[in-house]
Every structure is written in C-alpha cells, then in structure tokens.
Amino acid sequence: MVRNKVIVLFSVFTLLFSVFAPGLSPQNVKAVGTEEVEDVVETKGDRSPNPEDDGWELTFADEFDGDEINMDNWSFDEPTNGRWNGEIQSYTENNAKVEDGNLIIWADKEDITEPDGQVYNYSSSKLWTKDKQTLTYGRVDVKAKLPEGQGMWPAIWMMPNDEPFYGTWPVSGEIDIMELLGHEPDTVHGAIHFGRPHQERQGTFILEDGTTFADDYHVFSIEWEPGEIRWYVNDIHFHTANDWFTKHPDNADAYTYPAPFDQPFMLILNISVGGGWPGNPDETTVFPQQMKVDYVRFYEKDEYPVHEKPESAEEREGRAPLEDGNYVYNGSFDSNDPEVEGIEGVPYTDYWTFLKAGGGNASLQVNDGALDIQIDSGGDVEHGIQVLQAPIHLIEGATYRASFSAKAENERPLKVKIGGDGDAGWADYAGKDPITLSTSWEDYEFEFKMENLTDVKARYEFNMGLNNSNVSLKDVRLEKIADPDPADMIRGPLPTGNYIFNGTFDQGEGRMGFWEFNTDETAEATHYIGSAINERRFDALISNGGNNVDSVQLSQSGFTLENGREYELTFDASAEAERDIQVALTNLNSEVVYEETISLTTSTEKHTIEFSVDSETDNNSELQFNLGGNNNNVYIDNVFLKKLPLDIEVGNLLKNGIFDGLASWRAEAFNPGQATFSVEDGMAKAAITNIGTADWNIQLFQEGVNIEQDVTYEVSFDAKSTVDRPLHVQIQRNGEHHGDDDWTVYFEETASLTDTLQTFTYSFTMNEDSDPVSKFGFPLGKDAEGLIPSEAHDVFIDNVSVRKVDGEVEDPGTEDPGTEDPGTEDPDAPEERPMGEEFFEDFASHDEDRWSMAGVWTNGDMFNTTWYPEQVTFNDGKMQLTLDHDENASETGIPYKSGELRTNDFYHFGLYEVSMKPVASEGTVSSFFTYTGEWDWDGDPWDEIDIEFLGKDTTRIQFNYFTDGVGGNEYYHDLGFDASESFNTYAFEWREDSITWFVNGEAVYTATENIPQTPQKIMMNLWPGIGVDGWTGVFDDADIPLVAEYDWVRFTPLEELSHDPIIVEPETPETPETPETPETPETPETPESDDDSKDESDEDGDSEETSKEGSKDGDALPSTATNAYNYLLVGMLLLVIGGVSFFIRRKQLG
C-alpha cells in the first residue's frame, strides 16, 4: 500500500482493447495510464492466457486447497505495521482463513485493543510471504474477488524482502499489483513507488460494462523484467513503467538502474480500512467485507530481456543554449515548427508546456509575440495554472540572469520558479519570491547562483494559480552570466563522512560512478561489477598486468586532502591468488602524498591505512589502487576515506561540531519551509528562502546524543546571520526515534544573531531521566513570536559542542580493547567499587537497580553493530537481544543495531549461571560473560571470562578468558545438541586459582593458569562480526531480525558454595589404576524454563545447564566486550600410552 500517498492523477492515454478476455470485451474495459509525473511508456500488447506460451515456468503456487493457511508460505504482519496513510484498522490473525479453495481476508467493524492500550474500531488481516516466498523478476498472477464500499482499501502488492537494503521507503521501492478504492468498485490501480524524493508511476484499469470487481473473480498480474514492469487484468495490458530511479540521501548519485527494482520482493495481501486515499467508512459501508483469493502463482524465466532506462541525448548532456546565449527556446513566442512539440492547439508555443492542477482552468493564445493566459479559475494551489519550459541545463556553481516582460488584467502575484522536477524534489533553485504584476507591461529581471548539483533538465516555470486575473508574458530569457568559481567547487564528504563517492560500487553508470579504470599500453585488463545484489564489488580481471605497478589502475579524484590533517582509509579486498597491490594518494600535480603496499590473500579482508598530509591542501586529490605488475585478479569493495578528528573535538558529545562537511548532521527543510545547506568557510550555512510556518520546517540537527540525569552540561556554538534574527538551540526527546511523538524539551535557549560571528555558551542540568538517544538541534524556521524576518537570508553556525561540566574528559579515540563507552563516564560515580550480592534474575521485567542497557555507542572494529537500549526487551519472562538493520546507519556508518545488557554492580569469585538460547546464524556471536576494564573502573585491567556461541555452529560452545589483556585460552566443547533449539543451562565457577565451565550441570572443562582476579560485571550481548570471517563466518543479514533469548541468570558467591573446587582433568588413557574423577558437587537446583516455575523458592534444585564461553588473545581472537580478535594457535599433542591416543586442541587466530 502507498505510504504517505498523495495521488495526483493526470489522464495520459486511453487504450481500447480488441482482444477478447474472459468476461471482458473491447467495449467494456478501459485502461488509463496515470502518473504523478509524466513517464516514458512503450506499451506491450495483450498476452496469452497460458503463461507457458510466453516461456514462463511456474516456480511457486498456493491454490488454497487445504483447510488452513499454509504458514510455510505466509506470515501475519504485526498489527501496528502499517497505518502509514491514516488507516483505522487493527490487523489480527483472526481475520483470515482458507475455505472452499479460497484464502479469505475480511474486514469487520469491532473494537480491538492493541498492547499499547489504543482501541481501533475495525479489524482486518495482512499476510505476506516475507522470508518464505520471494521473487526477483518474473510474473505474478493473483486471482481474486474484491470487497467494496466506502473506506475499503484492498491491495495486492510487493515490498522488498530486505527493505533497508537500499534504504527505507520510498528509496526501497514498492510495487502495487492492484489497489482498489471501495467507493470506486469498478476501478483498480497499478503503480510503483520509488526515489527520494518520492515519485510514482501509476496506471488505472476500469470496467465499463456496469460490473464491479466485487461481482466476480479477476486475475491481477504483473510481468517484471530488468528495467520494465507491465500490469495486466485478465491478461489485458493496461500500464507499463520503465523509467524510475532511487537515491539514498547518504550517496552522491542514484543507485544504478534498474534499482530499486532489482532485488527480492515479497508478496502482500491485505484489506485496509479508511485512510487518506479511500476515506473512512460511513453509514453506507456494509460489514464484514471480504477479499477472496483463488490462487497466487509466481512464474520465472531462465533469462530476461534487459531494458535500458529511456533517456534522450538532452537528458544525458543537457540542452545547449541558443546562439544568443538564451537557454529558453522560443522565448518570443514566434516559432511554429510542426516538427516541434508545443502547447496543444496553441500556435507559436513550440517548446512550451501548459499544466493545470487543483481545479485550475485557463485558455491560451499568442498575440503579437505575447502569450496571453485567460484564466477561468486559478484553482486552489500556486501551480493551479502553470506554463513552463524544460529541459533547462543549469550548472552547479554558475550564475544566471532570468528576465521577461509581463502584465496582468488586475494587479496580482506571479510565482516564477526556476527549479528541478520530481527527480530533484521539485527544488526551487532561484528561490525568488512572488512578483507583483501590474496592469501594464513591465520588464522583470533577477539573478541567482546555482547552489544545487548540476541539473540538465531543470524547469523555467510561471505559476499563476490562486488568482483568476489574466496574465500575459513575452521576451522570456535565461542567460548564464558567470561560470562556476573553482574555489566554490570543492567537493566535501558525504553525510557519512566518506570522501570517496560510490565506495560500494552500486551507483552511476555501470555502477562505476566517480571511478575510472585504466591500463597502459603494456597491460590488458577489464573490470566487472555484478548486477546481483550479492555481486556488487569491483573485480579487476587481469590477463596481463603490464610492466609497472600502475599499469592497471582504479582511481577516483576530486576530493580534498587538507594540510596537517590525519586521515583513515579502509577497504575490503582479496585476490585470485596471494599478491601485492599499491595504494597511493596523489595531489593535483600527481605528486605522491602517501603510498603503501598492501598484501592480499584469497580471503576478503578489511584493510586500514592511516596517514597524515604534510603537503599543501589540495582540492583535487586522487586515490589510486595500482594493480599492475601481476596477472592475478583483484577484488575491491567498501572504500571509505574519512578525516580523523582533531583534539579540539575530544569530549564533545556531538560529532563533527567543526563542520568538516555536513557528516553526522541532518539538514532538512519541510514544506513550506525552503532552504539549502552547505559548508562555507568551514561553517555550516543554511541558505533560507522561505521560513515556513513553524520552527521545525527548517532544521539542522543530530540524533543519538547521550544526556544523563543529574549531570550538568555546557552547550556552546558560534553563529551569525545576514539579517538580525533569533536562533533557537535545543536538546529534546526524540519522539520519532521512540515512535511516540513525545518531544519533551530538556534544554532550550535563544541566541540573538547579527552579521558578526559571536560565541554563545549556555549550561544546563538534565532533570529528566537519562536519554541516550536525545536530539540536539537548531530549528531555523518561523518562530512562534514572529521575530524571524521572512526575507531570504543565510545563517552560519560553527564550533558546536555539548560537554559535561564536571569530571575528567575521556579520550574517545582510545583504542584500548577494554573501551566500552568512552563518552559516558559518570562524574558522580561512587568512590568505592559497587559489589553485588547473591541473586536470581527471572527477567520478568527490567530491574533497573540491577541491570543497564548499553547505548548508544559501538565497540567498533569487528563489532559491526551499534548498541541501542530498545534492542533489549523483556517478554513472557525472558530477555531478548535483537539484531536488526539500523535505520540510523547513515549517521553511525554501521549497518546493524543490537542489544547488550550488563549489571550495574561488580561480582567476584563464585558460580555464574545462565539459561539461554543463542542465535544460529553464521557470522553472529551470542554471549554470556563477565568483564571489566579501565573504562568500567578506574585502573582496572582488562579481565574477562566468556561463554560464546558462534552462530555458524551452535552444536559447539566456546570458553575463554583474559587476564590483564592476555588471552589465547579458547576451548571448544561439542555439546551433542543444537543450543539454538531449546533453553539449556551454561555456567562457570570462578575461583582464585581455577575456572570450571559447566553444561547442564556437568563440569566439562577447567582452566588453572593465569586466572583473572579483578571483580567484573555480568554481561550478555549479540553481535555480527566484520573482518573476523575466519572465526565467526561471513554474516548474511537475509534472516534478520535475529533474536537471542535468556531465560534466567543466577550468581552464587563462593562463600555460599559448599563443595570443593571441581577440576576437570584432560582425558588420559586408561591404566590399571585410573583415579576416580571428582564427583560433580550438588549445586542449587536450576529453575525450570517454564514461566510458572520461575520462583526464588526453586533455587534449591539441581542445575540443568551450565557453560561459559572464553575470550580471545589480546593479539588474537576478540573479546565480546572489546575490540581485539585473533585465532588460537592450532596445536595437537599426541601421546600414545598403551595404544590409546588423546589430544588437546587449541586454536589461535593468526
């Protein structure tokens, strides 16, 4: 279904079909293509009712012949997932069934109370095939009979199975096979949604014989090929889409066509009730209403034709100006060439377009070189009457002069807009306020600088809506009066902080946007970037590497390297066989700034290079991957170049407060507010052309700022404005992040700006509960007091910081592997280490006195996740850690989010037990461990004791420990069962001279060397690895969200244990007199996993499961709490006594 759907239907064409289809004839159907903006359509005729005739092969079908819904194919969506368009239903699992060979979904009028207490007056169901049946290209047929009535909104539609792959909606893409509005039961719509800004391509199919789609079954279909999608009803073709795009705001260019419609999509069936498009039910609506689905069928082919995106030469290169420099063709309204398109029925309007909207209506004619617009109704929108010319080629950084002559029947406003089309978000490049026309001819002229990216298809618009007074235009001109100043064309970093554009090789033409690949005369090589979503890396296919290292070269230029600054370059790489490559950075004069030789293996590894720039600042630096001198292929991906922070940024809770580009900041303008954001002279610049109607209409802000209760902070920034105005600064609760629209303000002040740069400093104490994800920002739109001038102006901001007033400032750049959260030291921390006592935790709820949730930060390095408190949940007497896509990845630079739970107090020698169920997914680690380090308690060594499950094989468990940062103590134990399938108990008993690990009450391993001595906190987390594939395996996020569950945790101090130490000796060969293995002592009874048995009184029973995972060597495998990983040295000691062999295996990551 369409989210935030605003449907503007323009009637583009009417097709009358002559091919007979069951129940339809050319006389009783009509197909109408309707688009939000004009699209390019090459129609394909009607098709055979037999898919096999067109080469389709059936790959999935659900005929609904059973007695119940086949849950191998379908899942019910959550009740709250939806209502994006103001719908008023609650989705339940009780409103769908299989009966008489049909899947029946019904909407009914009944009160449904959801878990948050909200009551909805209508029920329905929504089913999807997510993670079960997906399709990338193919044919989808759904035979269905639809509901009708005011407020009914049935849909057969598709969404990406992994929506965040390209970005959340609409960047993700959406395919609507069928949507129907219940008050128009004879009409269905088919559409796609895409892009940022949001666009759609929509077609409409109408029954014209007096029947409705509620009277009988009809087959709704799409045929989806690379670059083209076609819509059918009963095999009658009514719509084609083959012109779309999608662009993530963190990227420099659009994803390569046909993205986003080149990834696996799932099918969705549902009935929504009410909403902005169909409207809500009324007294005429009859309930219940049903959608009956006879079958769902997917068809595929071995090969598909590839459709290139329709594009004219003008769209590629831009339309050149006329000989006199005018970018407007026929600005004097004297051209009437029959070969040139103009306004239909109006001579001498070559190259011009006339559009109406919002009830506007007018007639046009040319008289004596002037275009007269006779307005019957100006409509209810500014563009209700619009005359425009496109495409106009505007170059970034160039300055233009627009001029024209005009008059009006009566004095009235005229909005002249020189801006972008829907692909550019309808941006207003000129930012010119409406002009007041008089009743006599007057000449008008204004200049503007193109601050946006180059647009080869901009629009010169005259908007005459909202007024019925006639308008006349003549002598329209647009001239370029100044080329871009090279000093203004400095390419800053992306919002992620990356100076390399398209480092993921999935943007631009051939997915090579911004990159160049060259060979010299001695070499022979080609390159390849796959179209499948798991093949998008750069492959250098080298048949002859040539004579020199730079004989084969991948390069990107145009970015800045600043004198005296330090940078970090990271990239993933491997090779066909072991070989070296050279990485070099050069300046405009081809002088080497830095170069390093990198050794590649056949396994993909992440490589990191840090360097400083000693040469002069250069705005056209070049990154080179020199791959020559060797014939082995090279593979490169995920190239990221960032500037490392200055010392001045240490202790700042905000990122990039010095505006080294706009990385980490979000800059937004919401209609009617209009502004563009950039960095000028090292300051953030908001060029405001319309302040809108509320302060939030224009914003510059950061999210995820950790503000702690009862802590005092200092807020400081520099600012100025080209007009005197107030500037608000605030820290508030992020209602969008929490999804509850609660924007409680923690701090707010107002600065008075002039054209002189001033420093403003404030302090405040956080009186609310701690908020680790608060929002810091400058709302720049219209203030409630009306003090901000409405005229266009610029605001400049720099050196923004939020710092704790009390306590010593930590160094967030510390690479100590024990660093957990360097930015959240509590100045009011107790002077003595808080020590915990014996406890049993049943996870009935979050006990804040005992447990804290990590967030918002990341351990970095191989921990490819950011910790968020909301990823730790408590349900049904269990604690869950959920690993999922991070919607803030564009800001954090880390794609995933997960949870970590830790005790507030420290614990020492004793028995640590957990009942848990780890994740079984390659590349993940589920853990239970104890840990301390210098960030947990001042001066603590890195001590740690681990129980870890590697998701690639949950029939094994890993034990490990660190003492003062020294690890290498890994031990793997085969469980004999799959730990991910049920709750089992794992434990370790920590004594001064030993650690013994248990599984389900049985002691399985003991360590006795270099045992850690420092009290530690109890912790649990779930995370995906990166750069440690040899240990964790390669993480594939196709199955996320992933959940690790914890049933209970117990700590028993050593003094409460009545048994002697348990030492599990390594197995030895049997001899005539084998000493008895020490008997496992009685331990407190393990509580049953059953919820009813989670009672403190159960603590006297037997322990069911116990096992703990170990840590990695400081230079080897990573600690679950820290940043350093290596493999254990694999060794085998073979002793033969009496013909029996035994071995002890240890691994160390080399």
Same domain, 553 and 586: yes
Q: Indicate the pLDDT class of residue 936, thresholds 50, 70 and 90.
A: confident
User: Which of 23-27, 31-35, 274-278, 279-283 is predicted least confidently?
Assistant: 23-27
Same domain, 357 and 425: yes
Same domain, 882 and 921: yes
Q: What is the pLDDT of residue 958?
A: 95
Q: Indicate the pLDDT class of residue 1131, thresholds 50, 70 and 90.
A: very low
72: in domain: yes
Q: Which runs of E-coded beta strand occur in 663-711?
A: 666-669, 674-680, 683-690, 698-707
Per cent of the chain over pLDDT 90 is 61
User: In whole angstroms, what is the distance from residue 1085 CA to residue 652 CA?
Assistant: 49
The per-residue pLDDT for range 518-555, each reduced to its tens digit, is: 999 999 999 999 888 778 899 999 999 999 999 999 99
User: In whole angstroms, what is the distance from residue 130 CA to residue 128 CA?
Assistant: 6
- Secondary structure letter of residue 1114 according to DSSP: T
Full domain range(s) for residue 30: 10-41+58-300
Same domain, 975 and 1116: yes
832: in domain: no
* Mean pLDDT on 749-772: 93
Q: What is the pLDDT of residue 831?
A: 66
User: Which of 174-183, 473-482, 835-844, 889-898 is predicted least confidently?
Assistant: 889-898
Per cent of the chain over pLDDT 70 is 84
Q: What is the pLDDT of residue 830?
A: 55
Q: What is the pLDDT of residue 1027?
A: 77
pTM above 0.75, yes or no: no
User: Which of 203-207, 343-347, 692-696 is predicted least confidently?
Assistant: 692-696
Q: What is the DSSP string of 290-308?
A: EEEEEEEEEEE-S--PPPP
Same domain, 724 and 690: yes
* Mean pLDDT on 988-1011: 93
Amino acid (one-letter) located at 325: G
811: in domain: no
| Domain finish residue from 300, 335, 351 | 300
| Domain finish residue from 597, 617, 643 | 643
Q: What is the pLDDT of residue 1144?
A: 36
Total domains in the chain come to: 5
Mean pLDDT of the chain: 84
- Secondary structure letter of residue 1100 according to DSSP: G
Starting at the edge strand found earlier in the chain, the sheet holding 712-721 runs 674-680, 683-690, 793-804, 712-721, 758-765
Same domain, 1026 and 884: yes
H-helix or E-strand containing 314?
helix 313-317
| Domain finish residue from 300, 329, 359 | 300
Catalytic residues: 944, 948
User: In whole angstroms, what is the distance from residue 43 CA to residue 13 CA?
Assistant: 11
Q: Report yes or no: 1126 and 977 within 8 Å, Cβ to Cβ.
A: no
Q: Indicate the pLDDT class of residue 714, thresholds 50, 70 and 90.
A: very high
The per-residue pLDDT for range 560-613, each reduced to its tens digit, is: 998 888 999 999 999 999 999 999 999 988 899 999 999 999 999 999 999 999
Same domain, 930 and 948: yes
Same domain, 625 and 745: no
52: in domain: no
Is the predicted pLDDT of residue 1148 greater than 50, yes or no? no
Q: Indicate the pLDDT class of residue 309, thresholds 50, 70 and 90.
A: confident
Which residue in this structure is represented by tokens 């005018």?
326
- As a residue count, the chain comes to 1150
Closest alpha carbon to 249 in 151, 327, 170: 170
Q: In Å, how far are 518, 519, 547, 575 from 544, measured between CA atoms? A: 13, 10, 9, 15
The per-residue pLDDT for range 362-419, each reduced to its tens digit, is: 999 999 999 999 999 999 889 999 999 999 999 988 999 999 999 999 999 999 999 9
CATH number at residue 1009: 2.60.120.200
Q: What is the DSSP string of 247-275?
A: --TTSSSPBPTTTTSSS-EEEEEEEEE--
Residue 1131, C-beta contacts closer than 8 angstroms, at least 6 positions apart:
1144, 1145, 1146
Q: Indicate the pLDDT class of residue 1113, thresholds 50, 70 and 90.
A: very low
Same domain, 245 and 348: no
The per-residue pLDDT for range 52-78, each reduced to its tens digit, is: 999 999 999 999 999 999 999 999 987
Is the predicted pLDDT of residue 422 greater than 80, yes or no? no
833: in domain: no
* Mean pLDDT on 132-155: 96
Same domain, 628 and 726: no
Is the predicted pLDDT of residue 195 greater than 90, yes or no? no
Q: Indicate the pLDDT class of residue 891, thresholds 50, 70 and 90.
A: low
The per-residue pLDDT for range 656-704, each reduced to its tens digit, is: 898 888 878 988 887 788 888 888 888 999 999 899 889 999 999 998 8
Q: What is the pLDDT of residue 257?
A: 92
Closest alpha carbon to 768 in 738, 792, 747, 784: 747
- Secondary structure letter of residue 334 according to DSSP: -
982: in domain: yes
The per-residue pLDDT for range 75-116, each reduced to its tens digit, is: 998 776 657 778 899 999 999 999 999 999 999 999 998 887
Same domain, 1025 and 972: yes
Question: Phi then psi for 505, rounded to 5 degrees?
Answer: 55, 50
CATH number at residue 340: 2.60.120.260
Same domain, 256 and 109: yes
User: In whole angstroms, what is the distance from residue 1115 CA to residue 25 CA?
Assistant: 76
Is the predicted pLDDT of residue 259 greater than 50, yes or no? yes
Closest alpha carbon to 248 in 678, 820, 859, 891: 891
User: In whole angstroms, what is the distance from residue 451 CA to residue 687 CA?
Assistant: 9
501: in domain: no
User: In whole angstroms, what is the distance from residue 968 CA to residue 47 CA?
Assistant: 66
Q: Strand, helix or coil at 474?
A: strand
Q: Strand, helix or coil at 1030?
A: helix
Q: What is the pLDDT of residue 1037?
A: 85
Spacing of C-alpha 521 from chain mean position: 43
1147: in domain: no
Which residue in this structure is represented by tokens 């390069």?
555
